[in-house]
Each structure stands twice: as C-alpha cells, then as structure tokens.
Structure 1
Amino acid sequence: MVLPEGFVLPPWYLLVPLLVVLAGVVALLWALDPPVTDRTVLAFAPWMMFGATLHVLHRIEAYPDHIEVLFASPSVYLVTAVVAGAAWIIASLLYAGGLQSTISRFVGISGTAFFAVFAMIAFNIGWERGTIDPFWPVIAVVVTGIVTAIAWVALSLSFTDVAATTGLTGALVVFGHTLDGVSTAIGYDILGASEEVPLSRLLLEAGEALPTEAYIGAGWLFILVKVALAMVILGLFREYVEERPQQARLLLALVAAVGLGPGTHNVLLFLIT
C-alpha cells in the first residue's frame, strides 16, 4: 500500500468546483506575482497549522456528513490552499492600495486568527467530551524546540553557508519536520497511536526491530531521519535559493508544510483525545 490510510477523494461535484477555484487563485497569484521572502514563509506557518486543525476536526467527526470528505486527506490540502491563497491575494491588493504596510503581516495575522478560531473549536469539543490532556503535547513541543535548536546550531557550525542562505525559511523547515518526528514518536511509543503513512510506518517498524527499542523506544530513528532529511534538503536548495530565491523559498515553504502540518495535527489530536 503506497497511499496513506484514510486517503479518499471527494465526489466529482465537490472536487471539480474546488479545483476550479484553486486554479483561479493560482492564476491570480501568478498575475500579481507577490514577493516570497523569509517573512512571507513565516507568515504562512499559521496557515499550515490551520490546515492541520481542519483535518483534526475531520478526525473527531465535527463536520456535517455532506461536506466532511472535503476535510479528509488529500482534499483538506486543497481547501487550505484556496483559503490561504485568497488571503495572500487580499493582502497583495491591500498592499498595492496602500492599506497595508506589508503583505506578510496581513497573511500572518489572518492565518493566526483562522488557526486560533478553529483550534479553539477543536479544544472545546475535547473539553465537552472530557478528553483534554495537555501533558504529552506540551512535552512534544518542548522537545521539538530543543532538538531544533541543536540541529540548527550544528548546521550553522558545520555548513554555515547553508544556514545563512536559507535563513528563517530553513529554520522553519527543520522545526516543522522535527515536530512531526517527535510527535509521531511520542504517539507511537507512548500513546499507542498508529501511523497512517506507509513509509513512516516502515521507519518506525525498523526502529522497533533494533535492540534499543526496549530502552528508548522505536521513534528515535524516525526523529533522526526526519531531522537529517530536512537538513539535507536545505543543503540541496542552497544554490537554488541564491539563484532564484523567490521560487526556491516557495518550494521550501511546501517542504516545511509537509512537516509542520502533520506535526501540528498530531499535537492537537493528542491534546483533545
């Protein structure tokens, strides 16, 4: 099995309009050609977390039956892209009209607001069900911060040019994938959660087969691979960022989303269930 468990496409009468709207958003952004800097990528971090929150609400069956498939994988990514892209378009128009000093500020503030509102909805559902437990989610975030700091210092000392060139975008890539690795390891080793992505499950099973599993669990190998892969990607992107910074940072933002989204999803799901 190659696709993750729970992978389902919505029916054509939902999928086609969604793709048409997404195509329109992409076309408008192509025409506006807004700048993509470190600040832009950081501004989209809350939107990555917002998409994860939408999927958590799907996991706890918070949506009406006739639209819940839109928030399953992979359509939740399309929905998030449409909303975040629309915010980017609005921010660009406001900036062009002199109503905003920067594009990234509006994108970041609106993304934070969307994430906060929907995360609170998820939290309230967990509170009503009596399933709120913040201990391991907090541990996951703290450990992620420590591991990210160590990894970034190591990258800065060993490959200073890579860290300097990729900047805050690179740091977000490392943080996002570390959060995914740490939260997945905690879920697998401590909370008894299953892994839906086949490749990730293979890594966890490989860690489980090692002699160290009895002492430190199976997830450490997954964390190591995620962090190492993130830093290797940054190394491969160094020249691309120097030559075509806008396109390169946009791609690195997608790489960051692949880590930060699932990581946020795990943390929030563990918190409310």
Structure 2
Amino acid sequence: MDGVSDRIDPVQAWVAAAVTAITALVIGAVAFPRQVYDGFLWRYFWGPVVADGTGNACAQRINGEAVLGGDCVTGVVAEPGYTTISTVSYALILVFALVGVIFLLRRLDLGFGQGFFFALFPFMLFGGALRTVEDASVALLRTTGEPAIGFPLSSLFISPFIYFTVFFVTLAALLVSVAAERRGLVSRYEYPLAGIGALAFAVTIGSLVWLATSTDAIETNPTITIITVVGATVVAALAWIGTERFAPDVNDATGYMGILVIWGHTVDGLANVLSLDWATELGIPSYSPKHVVNSAIIDITSTVQPASVSAAIGTAWPFLFVKIAAALFVVWVFNDEIFDESPQYSMLLLVAILAVGLGPGTRDTLRATFGV
C-alpha cells in the first residue's frame, strides 16, 4: 500500500504551500489591516525598507498612513535593520526557497560538483556590492538631497528584496549558461556562469568608484578592505593548516569549499569588528550593528567585560570568533554521508551558508571603504 508521501508530488506540494501562505497573508492584510499589515508585514518587513531607502532613522504607520521624519514613537514604528521576528522569518523563507531551488536543479540535472559552488561565488560578492550601491545612494541623499537611485526603485537593493533581485539575476545567468553548454557553445556551464557573476560584480564596483570620483559625498579608504581581505585569508589559511594537521576529517568532504566558507564568514566578522570598534582609528564613519546576534554579543560583552578593557579593544570582537567557530562547525558537519544522501541539497545549502556570511561581509567592507 502506498504511503501518503508516495501519492503527493513534492513539487506540487511546494507550490501549494507557497500559494497558501501568500494567500493567507493577503487575505489577512485585507481583512485585518491594522493587525496583519500594519502590525506585522509593515512593521517587520516593508517599514524598515522604507526607513532605510529614504535615509530616515525610522518610519511610522499612523492611522493607516506611512509617516517619515516623525518622533519615532507614535503609531507602529519601524527602524532600518533586522529584528528577531524578521530574522527568523527570513531564515524560514530561505530554507523554503532552498527546497524550491532543489526541485529546479533536479529538473535541470545540475548542482552536483564543486564547480557549481565556485561558479556562484562571484554572485555573493555581487549581492554585497549591490547593497552598498544603495547605501551610497542614501549617502548622496543626505548630502545633496538627491539620491543616486530613487525610492521605491531602491527597495530592490534593500533586504529582503535584494535577495530576490540577486536570485533572479543568478537564475537568469544559470539558465543562459546551461543553454550555452547544451548547445555546444561552451564545454561546461560553470565557466560562463562564473564569468557573468564576475562581470556583474565588476560593474557594481565600477559604479561605486564612479560615484566616489564624481561626487564629494563619497570618499574611498581602502584600508579596511586590505585589512579584512588579508586578515580573512590568514585565518582561512591557519584553519586549513590546523585542521589538516590535527583534525583532517573536518575537510574531507568539503575541501577547498570549506575553506572558502571559513574565509567568507571571517570577512563578515572582521568587517563588523573594524567598523564597530575601530572606526575612529581607521578614519571611517561610525556604524551601529543591524543584526540581532551581533547586537546581543555586543550587549553581553559590554556587561561582562571591564569598562577599561572595552575602551581599549571594543566590544564587538567576540563576534569574529563566533563567526569563525560557527563556520568551522558547519564545515565539520558536512561529511561524505551528507553529500552522498542528498548531493544537490547539500551543495546548495553550503552555498547558502557561505552567502549569508560573505554577502553581508562584502557590504560591510565596502560601506567602510567608501564611507557610506
């Protein structure tokens, strides 16, 4: 007798779940606008984007209307950045989206080898750089009164919508690359895929350089980029040498992919520490943490660490070690058995793990480099 799982098509179930969730949110927002739209969707998702994209400290929802430049107290208040609810929601959406991408990869018969992983690496850099373009646009808005990219178009480059922007760019590049391979134009689809990603990243960096050279609102200070890249490379090298010597089984399944994961998350950790604790010494603008975990670590460190020590070395430094430890743990967890049972899902999950570190890390590094 067939089980329920044998009678349900997984792809149809995934589509049905997506449609059901979207429909429920739409109906809830229409039927209960104050509770569902204002108090949930706007407060945790769209409101922070509005505040960020318009360069305001907050956005408010008062009597069903969005208000900018208010007292940040009245009505439903949304601030740029993440909250616990939005962070958890994005994590759940990411996992759900990964399942959908798995179905696509299986249909295309892709995503098995390490070439797929490395070909997607430039797109992670592209995503972080693209987010920095929007930061530069807001910097121009604050200085000149005119942004480089007007709102709401700029929302495509702000979380969470930038993830969809980068995803569709990457998907288009993947489909074009696969078509080129199957028509015999290239020997492997990974080559044009990586090339498109590298070109997108280069164009995005070029736009930042152009803004920096054509306006007085944006300056360049490559010190933090040099320190971050060199520091992350040293940490990744030490991690490789140490694990190969004392725990070689850690790298057995992931190899150089695992080292790249460690490198990407170290970039994120270092960029945060430098931006938060050493901004004055490096001559860059002061920043504040936008991620829940980072904020919590700073709060705990400020409580348990003596004030004199905090004044000397800062309070964000534990975040770097948490990132390195978490990356090492993930690399260790990805063993041969996991890849053998579900190679495509394992490969895509490893890509996502690198992206959630390297994407924000690239943005934080470039923000400090261009002072935006």
TM-score by length of 1: 0.87
Q: 1:66 aligns with which of 133, 149, 152?
A: 152
* Closer, same or farther: CA 3–184 of 1 in aligned 2, 3 Å: farther
Equivalence for 1:257:
355
Instruction: Please tell me whether the aligned partners of residues 179 and 260 of structure 1 are also in contact (alpha carbons under 8 angstroms).
Output: yes
Instruction: Please tell me whether the aligned partners of residues 156 and 164 of structure 1 are also in contact (alpha carbons under 8 angstroms).
Output: no
SS in 2 for 1:69: helix
* Closer, same or farther: CA 5–65 of 1 in aligned 2, 3 Å: closer
Equivalence for 1:169:
257
SS in 1 for 2:49: coil
1:204 matches 2:298: yes
- Provide, for residues 229-267 of structure 1, a one-character-per-residue CA deviation record: whole Å limited to 9, x for no partner: 011112222131243333211100000000110111111
CA distance in 1, matches of 2:131, 2:105: 25
Where relative contact order (Cα < 8 A, 6+ residues apart) is larger, the structure is: 1
Instruction: Please tell me whether the aligned partners of residues 6 and 73 of structure 1 are also in contact (alpha carbons under 8 angstroms).
Output: no
- Provide, for residues 131-180 of structure 1, a one-character-per-residue CA deviation record: whole Å limited to 9, x for no partner: 11111221111111111211222222333122121112211211110000
Q: 1:8 aligns with which of 49, 69, 79?
A: 49
1:151 matches 2:239: yes
1:90 matches 2:176: yes
CA distance in 2, matches of 1:242, 1:30: 15
Quote the RMSD (CA, aligned, Å): 2.5
CA distance in 2, matches of 1:3, 1:222: 24
Higher-Rg structure is 2
Q: What is the deviation of 1:112?
A: 0.3
- Provide, for residues 92-117 of structure 1, a one-character-per-residue CA deviation record: whole Å limited to 9, x for no partner: 11111111111111111110001000
Point out where structure 1 has 5 or more consecutive residues left out of the alignment: 11-21
Larger mean CA deviation between 114-123 and 133-142 belongs to 133-142
Equivalence for 1:18:
none
1:229 matches 2:317: no
Instruction: Please tell me whether the aligned partners of residues 94 and 100 of structure 1 are also in contact (alpha carbons under 8 angstroms).
Output: yes
* Closer, same or farther: CA 44–7 of 1 in aligned 2, 3 Å: farther
Q: What is the deviation of 1:7?
A: 4.2
Equivalence for 1:245:
343
Larger mean CA deviation between 263-272 and 149-158 belongs to 149-158
* Closer, same or farther: CA 203–265 of 1 in aligned 2, 3 Å: same
Point out where structure 2 has 5 or more consecutive residues left out of the alignment: 1-42, 54-96, 138-147, 280-285
CA distance in 1, matches of 2:133, 2:356: 19
- Provide, for residues 4-31 of structure 1, a one-character-per-residue CA deviation record: whole Å limited to 9, x for no partner: 9984389xxxxxxxxxxx99x9575442
CA distance in 2, matches of 1:4, 1:216: 34
Q: 1:104 aligns with which of 187, 190, 200?
A: 190
TM-score by length of 2: 0.65
Query: Identity of paired residues, percent?
Result: 30
Larger mean CA deviation between 234-243 and 196-205 belongs to 234-243
CA distance in 2, matches of 1:153, 1:217: 29
Q: How many residues align?
A: 260
